Each structure stands twice: as structure tokens, then as C-alpha cells.
Amino acid sequence: MYLKLSVRNARRSFADYLLYVTAMTLLLAVAEVSNCMAIIGELAGFQVISLPLLIAVIQIVLAGYMDTFMLKQRAKEFANYLLLGMGKKRLTRLFLWEVLLIGFCCYLAGTAAGFAVYGFWYFREPLHEMKHWGFLYGKSMFYTFMSFCLMETVCSFRLKRRLNRLQIRELMYEKNRSQGVKDTGNYKKWGRIFCLCFMCFIGCVCGIVFLPEAYIVYPVSVAAIPLLLSVFAFYQWAFGCLYAQRKMKSLKIYQKDMLYITAHFTSDVKTTAIVNAVFCICFLFSACSFVTGMLMLQPEFQLFDTAVRQWMGMSQISICIVFLVIYFSILSLQQIIEVRQNAKSSRIMYCMGKSSRQIERLVNRQTAVKLIAPMIMALLILLFCLPLLNGKMNFILPASMGNILYKLTGAFGACMILFYSCYFGIVSAMSRRYINSSV
Amino acid sequence: MNQIRIGAFISERRKANGWTQSQLAEKLGITDKAVSKWETGRSMPDLSLFMPLCTLLKITLNELFAGECIAEEKLKEKADEVLMDVITNWLGHDQWEGQECDAAPQSVLEVENISRLYETESSSVLAVNNVSFRIPQGSFTGIMGASGCGKTTLLHLIATIDRPTNGAVRISGQNITDLPEEAAAEFRRRHLGFVFQEYNLLETLTVYENIALALTVKEVSKENIRPMIRRLSEKLDIAAVLDKFPYEVSGGQRQRCACARAIVANPDIILADEPTGALDSRAARQLLDTFVMLCRECGATILMVTHDVMAASYCDRILFMKDGEIKAALNREQKNKQTFFADILKKIQWIEGESHDVPETFRP
């Protein structure tokens, strides 16, 4: 009977599952592409293993977010199973198996799609003729499977702990539950950590630019630590501050649509901060890959021979695209899910006196903020680092490549605007559909 | 106590001080509309506002209730007169709490021959058929009928959520049937308040924020939001749960929060769609008492759709719907609740058997 009920409920929440499956498949396809690149790079004598590792970390965070989303969607159903007499252990096992099974199907679809994309772009190039494609597919699938297992193990462990903690009553309200922060003054501590880490990072960049060549290796090797910490601390501080404003009933948020938007972004304050930090890192990685790739493709840049240079350049640009796709696709999916979940809110706002066009504008503003929020810290970092690093590059590179960093960053900006406009358009169109059907 | 006289006196003193309605409202931390309602005799100031108002207008409480300036020599005589007036007013509400104004109350809502036809490829349903009625200012009117009789459709037509096939709906004198979408939204924002059966509170917002959201949508000045919510929450007994999320409070408290959200911006009319449907009898009674209090003390006009006889017995007037038409109306007049309850049951019985009898003529 439980199985019957479970299948029926899964069918009923088909749209949620569709979004879950799409996001998981996309993540695993990206992992497959990055593994293919790492394997080919390894064969060509380059060290690119850090790429799939970074993607695995991002995957764990995002898969955790999606699992939590599915748990929230189905929490009421689980409470009903417990009321019908099902044991907590059995319920946990059932849900974990379900997640694992869906995940495995996504793995098969994702690896196939990822390998197909990689093959389409790269297989015609001479560098890849050295090995049979079956070897590449087998090895990359194995690597992707390993990262999939790691992701599922971490997420299952977290889900199991969470399910064990929740009682029937809590499960009943889990879908609507808002994630609060006990100590609202905590954000000040994060603000201090952010300032400290950011100063350390700027110090490292200054070291890279101004220290003699023999000592540059030291700031280069540690720069990533204050960078990552400052990104994490910044979003903890920013969202914590917003949440504290809300808790203190600050007058600033009680005007126009500020209250609604603030509530939207602070209802799951901890998760939102972590997700934004992860996407900020994605964005930074993407920008670095783009600039490095484009630099490699410059004919004046004579560090390696032409074939290797081109391969490396194209790989870096592919990594950039991979990260941009992760960034925009997951954020867009998240926004579409939220608009769908908030259909009732749209209806209430309509009754309160907002026209459907005003609600559309409100949701578009939310979408714009959602897509741009993780970029804020990245832009701050670029603002401080770019002039310093560009000066250094001008000093090293020939005069014909003057201000190359500014030019390449400008090109990346244009690329971003293109991606942003496309994804914003898609989310806006889908949101309009949901809004019009709900009011 | 003559409300119109008091209103005229407030207006006179305000002008003497050289203030506009907005300036007085700003000083008291309320909306312009509330001041306008006092001055036209449509409502009285809240209890908590009497003293600040008197101080601002440089008058005594006696003078405010008397509706005129009192000379020093007549002070004792007039003070006794005002006190007597207040006591009579208070004790007189023991059974019948309806407002008794010298002037005939103005109609807030006028519905004229409205119909709503839903057509599909294979069939057509006349959900509302040629319905006409009026609702006076400050009244609590109920629409009763069995499920599917068209009462919620009628409410949606009044709320500008749906458009009638024929007829006209006027709220505060404005015809709302042909309003374009943006204007209809603006109209809902300025003139209507809603209370639904399922509370319809935003779950990601606290009770306080839910009420504040209605005010931000209506573009009330941010400085006025906190005092307005504080006053109303005390009146509706939800002050203790303002910082909680809707899922953390009881159904009755949730519905009172919805009620506060509907009334806080002082709408011309509150539309309630089966508001007691999801409540137990005690919480339902509390909510209905709140509605009655809002009518009597704040001058709110409420139109409630219900199929519950107990809920209907709190109304001043009931319209009975069947098959999309209004079959009969019942005025409470000065009956007590028990007698009115018995009358409603009789009327329902009569309507049930109406197809066998000669139909009663309903006058709007």
C-alpha cells in the first residue's frame, strides 16, 4: 500500500520531480564534461584534476539544496505515512532509496548527455585521436560515478539525520517552515571576518603584483584561502544583516515591495547565504577561466606551441561556459520552483490590489536580484584586483597586449550580459505563465 | 451622542488650527481616510485617540462628545449631559448593537441586476441571475445559501476578481464593472478588504509582516505602519503573536490576523468568504464578535458569505440565495440574537419549500 501511495504522490508532484531530475541531470552532465577534460588533459600532460573536484564540491552543496526542497515538498505526505503506522526507519529507507534510484537514472542520462556534448566539441581535434573514445567514456563514467557516490553519500547522511529529527507535527509544517537565525546580531561577527579576510586577500594580490619574482609563489599559493573565506563571510554577513533588519522591523523595508522581496530572500537565510557563496565562486572561476583561455588564444602569447595553446585556450573557455551554465541554469530553476510554490502568494497579492502586471514586475525584480546576487561579491573582488593585476600584466607582456586584462574582462562582461538576458527572459516568460494561471 | 455633530466639530476645530485632514492624520499617526470618516460622521475615533485628538484640537473631552465648545458657566450642566448620553449609549447596546444615526446611512455597495453566465463548448451555467441589493455604510450583511448557489461568484463579481455578464456594481458611488485591469487593482487596493476561509496568509511572513504587507501595498507611509498595527492587534487580541509565523499560531488567531490585514487600511467594504469555515465554534464566535466590533466601533462595512446559520445570526441583514438568485432578505431590526437565529431557520425552511409556494417578492 505504501508503495502504491508513494507512486501516486510522486505522480502528483510530477512538476517538482521534473525540476529535480533536470537539475540533477544537468549537474551530472557537467561533471562528466569536466571529467572528460581532466582525462584528456592528463593524457596531454596537464594537471586539471582540480576542476572535477571543485565541481564535485559544488554538486554536493546543490544536491543537498535540492534534496531539502524535495523533502519539504513531500513532508506532509511523510507525516501521513507515519500517522498510518509506518516506522520512521522504514520511511527514511524508502525515501533514501527513492532519491538514490532517481539519482542513478539522472547519472545515466547525465553522463550520456555530457559525453555527447564533449564529443561534439572535441573529438575532431588531432589531440584526441590518440585514444579510443570507449576508453575515455569508460574512464570518465567511472570518475563521474565516484563523484556521484560521494554526493549521494553526503546528501543521504544529511537527509537521514534531518528526517530522524523531524516529528509528525514538524513534518506537517515543514513545507511552510521558515529558517530563522537564533542570534540576529551574529551578522556583525561575519562582517568583521569578511573585512579581515578581504584585507588579507587584497594583501595577497598586492604581494603578487609588487613582490620580487622569487617571492610571488607565497601569496599565489595562499590567496585562494582568504578569497573563499571572504566570499563565504560576505554572504553570511549580507543575508544576516537583511534578516536582522527584518527582525528589528526596520522602517527601511516597509515601503513599496521591499518587505515582500526581503521576506523572500530571508525565509531560508542560512541556505540562501551558502548557495550564493557557492555560485559566487562559480562565477569567479568562470571569469578566471575565460580570461586565461582568451589569453592563451592570443597569437602574441608564446608560452607553448600553437596546438597545445589552442587546446588549453579552448578547454579554459569550455570550463567558463560549463560554470556559466551551472550558475544560470540552477539559479533559474530555483527561481522557477519558487515562483511555482508562491502561486498562492500571487493570488493573495492580487486580492490586495496588485494587478497581474504589477505582480509580474515584482517577480521579475526578484528574478533579477536572484540572478545578480552571487555576482555582487565577485564584482567587488574584480573591482579591487583588476587594476592591480592589469598593471602587472602590462609590465610583463609586450606593448601590443597593453591593458589586455581590461579588454578580456570586458569581453567576459559582454558574455555575461548575453547569458543573463537569455536566462532572465526564459524565467520571466515561465513566471508569467504561472502568475497568469494563479490570479 | 451625535456622531455627525461630533464630526462637524472636529472638522471645525481642525480648520481653526489651520490644518488639512492629511496634516491632522499625520500628527495622529493614522490615515487621511480615517479623519475624513470622522468628519463626515461615518465613524468615531478609537478610544486611544480621544486624548491626543483633544490635545491637538485644544478642546476637552466633554466638548468633543458634546460636539461644541462649552462656556465656563455651563460646564457642569453640559458635562453631566454628555456623561448621561454616553451611559445611555452604552447600556442601550445590551441586546441590539446596531447603529442608530439621525441621518439615513449612505449605501456603500449597490448591486444592480447583475448576472454571470459561464459558457463552455457544450453547456452554459447561469451562476448569478439578475441580482440587485444595496448595503448601507457600517452594516454587517450576510449572504446565505447552500453550496453552489452562486454566493462566492457574487462575491467575486463585487470584488472585481470576475466580471458580470450584465448589470452594474457600484462601490462608494463608483461603477466597477467596466474597470480595466490596472484600475480594478487600484480600486481593490484603495477600497476593498478580504477575509478568506483558508486564511490566505503568506507563510514566509510573520503575523506582523502579513498585516504590514497590506499597508505597504496600499502605500501607507512607513512611519504610520507600526502604530496602526499595534493599535489594531491589541483590539483584535493578537498582539502576543505578532512575531510568530502563521503556522505557529492557532486557526482563530490566524483568521483574526487575516481580519486585521483586511481592516487595517480602512477599506470601504470588507468581503468575507466563509470566514468561519475552517474554525471551531469558539474561534468562530470570537471572529464574529470581532466583525461586530469592527462594524460598531470602526464603522466598517462587512459583506460575509456563509452557509452557517450561527454565523449569519451575527449579521444586521441577511440575503438568501438559491440557484443564483436572491430569494429573500431578513433584517435583524432590534431582535436579539436568539430570535434572529430562529427567524433565519424559518426563512431557510420557507426557501427550501419555496418551489411549492408562491415566491416572496424581494426588494433590494
CATH number of the domain where residue B257 is located: 3.40.50.300
**Residue at A106 is within a domain:** yes
Across B183-189, average pLDDT: 89
pLDDT at residue B28 is higher than 90: no
Nearest Cα of chain B lies from the Cα of A421 at a distance, in angstroms, of: 27
pLDDT of residue A124: 57
Among B26, B57, B91, identify where a domain stops: B91
Which of A348, A353, A357 is the closest to B202 by Cβ? A348
Across A381-407, average pLDDT: 89
**Closest Cα in chain B to A174:** B247
pLDDT at residue B103 is higher than 60: no
Residues A281-295: tens digit of each pLDDT: 889 989 998 998 998
Is residue B321 located within the same domain as residue B349? yes
Residue A127 has what DSSP assignment?
G
Is residue B76 located within the same domain as residue B117? no
**Residue at A53 is within a domain:** yes
Residues B1-14: tens digit of each pLDDT: 677 788 888 888 88
Nearest Cα of chain A lies from the Cα of B160 at a distance, in angstroms, of: 9
B135 pLDDT band (50/70/90 cuts)? Answer: very high
Across B282-301, average pLDDT: 85
Across B329-346, average pLDDT: 82
**Closest Cα in chain A to B189:** A353
Q: Do B188 and A353 touch (CB under 8 A)?
A: yes
In B210-229, the residues whose Cβ lies within 8 Å of chain A are 212-219, 222-223, 225-226
From the CA atom positions of chain A, what is the Rg in Å? 24
Higher pLDDT, A406 or B78: A406
Is residue A71 within 8 A of residue A163, CB to CB? The reply is yes
Q: Do B189 and A354 touch (CB under 8 A)?
A: yes
Q: Quick check: helix, strand or coil at residue B249?
A: coil
Is residue B119 located within the same domain as residue B83? no
pLDDT at residue B362 is higher than 60: no
In chain A, residues with a C-beta closer than 8 Å to the C-beta of B214 are 352
pLDDT at residue B90 is higher than 70: no
pLDDT of residue A369: 93
Counting residues of chain A whose pLDDT is more than 90, the rounded percentage is: 27
pLDDT of residue A368: 95
Please calculate the CA angle B191-B4-B31 and round it to the nearest 5 degrees.
35
pLDDT of residue B86: 66
Run of H or E including B30 = none
Number of domains comprising chain A: 1
Closest to B320 in 3D by CA, of B292, B293, B343, B301: B343
Nearest Cα of chain A lies from the Cα of B182 at a distance, in angstroms, of: 6
The string over A281-320, giving b where at least 16 C-beta atoms fall within 10 Å of a residue's C-beta and e elsewhere, is bbbbbbbebbbbbbbbeeeebeeeeeeebebbbbbbbbbb
| CB-based burial label for A400 (10 Å; 0-12, 13-18, 19+) | exposed
d(CA A262, CA A241): 11
In chain B, residues with a C-beta closer than 8 Å to the C-beta of A260 are 213, 216
Q: Is the dihedral of CA A99, A102, A105, A110 positive or negative?
A: negative
Which of B181, B200, B208 is the closest to A356 by Cβ? B181
A359 in B contact zone (CB under 8 Å): no
**Closest Cα in chain B to A243:** B205
A365 in B contact zone (CB under 8 Å): no
- At how many degrees (to 10) do helices A14-43 and A306-341 cross? 170
Is residue B43 within 8 A of residue B34, CB to CB? The reply is yes
Residues A159-177: tens digit of each pLDDT: 888 888 877 777 777 666 6
Q: B interface mutation test: which of A76, A175, A259 has the most B CBs within 10 A?
A: A259
Window from A275-279, A385-389, B239-243, B284-288 with minimum mean pLDDT: B284-288
Domain hosting residue B264, numbered range: 107-356
Which of B190, B215, B226 is the closest to A249 by Cβ? B226
**Residue at B361 is within a domain:** no
Range list of H helices, A123-132 = none
A122 pLDDT band (50/70/90 cuts)? Answer: low
Q: Quick check: helix, strand or coil at residue A173?
A: helix
Q: Do B159 and A350 touch (CB under 8 A)?
A: no
A257 in B contact zone (CB under 8 Å): yes
Nearest Cα of chain A lies from the Cα of B34 at a distance, in angstroms, of: 19
Across B85-92, average pLDDT: 52
Q: Tell me, what's the ipTM?
A: 0.77
pLDDT at residue A325 is higher than 60: yes
Strand arrangement of the beta sheet that strand B302-306 belongs to: B192-195, B269-273, B302-306, B140-144, B317-322, B325-331
In chain A, residues with a C-beta closer than 8 Å to the C-beta of B159 are 351
Is residue B12 located within the same domain as residue B138? no
pLDDT of residue A419: 93
Residues B318-329: tens digit of each pLDDT: 999 988 999 889
Across B91-104, average pLDDT: 46
Is residue B7 located within the same domain as residue B113? no
pLDDT of residue B94: 39
Counting residues of chain B whose pLDDT is more than 90, the rounded percentage is: 21
DSSP string, A8-40: HHHHHTHHHHHHHHHHHHHHHHHHHHHHHHHHH
**Residue at A219 is within a domain:** no
Q: Do A263 and B202 touch (CB under 8 A)?
A: yes
Residues B208-218: tens digit of each pLDDT: 999 999 999 88
pLDDT at residue A98 is higher than 50: yes
- Which parts of A37-181 are beta strand (E)? none
Higher pLDDT, B105 or B360: B105
In B167-196, the residues whose Cβ lies within 8 Å of chain A are 181-182, 184-190, 192, 194
In chain B, residues with a C-beta closer than 8 Å to the C-beta of A346 are none
In chain A, residues with a C-beta closer than 8 Å to the C-beta of B212 are 254, 259
Q: Do B185 and A350 touch (CB under 8 A)?
A: yes
Q: Do A178 and B226 touch (CB under 8 A)?
A: no
Among B91, B123, B146, identify where a domain stops: B91
Is residue B228 within 8 A of residue B260, CB to CB? The reply is no
Is residue B160 located within the same domain as residue B222? yes
**Residue at A143 is within a domain:** yes
Cell of B4: 455627525
Is residue B118 located within the same domain as residue B69? no
Q: Residues near A394 by Cβ (< 8 Å), separated by ≥ 6? A: A402, A403, A404
Nearest Cα of chain B lies from the Cα of A350 at a distance, in angstroms, of: 7
Is residue B180 located within the same domain as residue B222? yes
The half-sphere exposure of B12 on its side-chain side, counting CA atoms within 13 A, is 12
pLDDT of residue A128: 52
A15 pLDDT band (50/70/90 cuts)? Answer: low
pLDDT at residue B95 is higher than 50: no
Q: Do B212 and A260 touch (CB under 8 A)?
A: no
Q: A interface mutation test: which of B195, B219, B222, B249 has the most A CBs within 10 A?
A: B222
Closest to B161 in 3D by CA, of A434, A357, A356, A359: A356
Q: Do B200 and A347 touch (CB under 8 A)?
A: yes
Closest to B109 in 3D by CA, of B260, B313, B319, B285: B319
**Residue at B131 is within a domain:** yes
Number of domains comprising chain B: 2
In chain A, residues with a C-beta closer than 8 Å to the C-beta of B187 are 353
pLDDT at residue B225 is higher than 80: yes
Which of B205, B218, B223 is the closest to A251 by Cβ? B223
**Residue at B362 is within a domain:** no
**Closest Cα in chain B to A269:** B204
Give the mean pLDDT of chain B.
83
A12 in B contact zone (CB under 8 Å): no
pLDDT at residue B91 is higher than 60: no
Counting residues of chain B whose pLDDT is more than 70, the rounded percentage is: 91
In chain A, residues with a C-beta closer than 8 Å to the C-beta of B209 are 246, 259, 263
**Residue at B97 is within a domain:** no
Window from A4-18, B69-83, B170-184 with minimum mean pLDDT: A4-18
pLDDT of residue B84: 64
**Residue at A213 is within a domain:** no
Is residue B298 located within the same domain as residue B340? yes
From the CA atom positions of chain B, what is the Rg in Å? 22
Q: Do B213 and A178 touch (CB under 8 A)?
A: no
Domain hosting residue A10, numbered range: 1-177
Which of B189, B213, B246 is the closest to A259 by Cβ? B213
Residues A138-150: tens digit of each pLDDT: 888 898 999 899 9
Is residue B86 located within the same domain as residue B113? no
A349 in B contact zone (CB under 8 Å): yes
Is residue B160 located within the same domain as residue B246? yes
Q: Domain with B86 in it: what CATH number?
A: 1.10.260.40
Among B37, B65, B91, identify where a domain stops: B91
A178 in B contact zone (CB under 8 Å): yes
A343 in B contact zone (CB under 8 Å): no
Q: Do A259 and B216 touch (CB under 8 A)?
A: yes
Residues A45-94: tens digit of each pLDDT: 666 677 788 788 888 888 888 888 788 878 888 888 888 788 888 888 88
Residues A349-360: tens digit of each pLDDT: 888 888 889 999
Q: Do A350 and B213 touch (CB under 8 A)?
A: no
Is residue B30 located within the same domain as residue B161? no
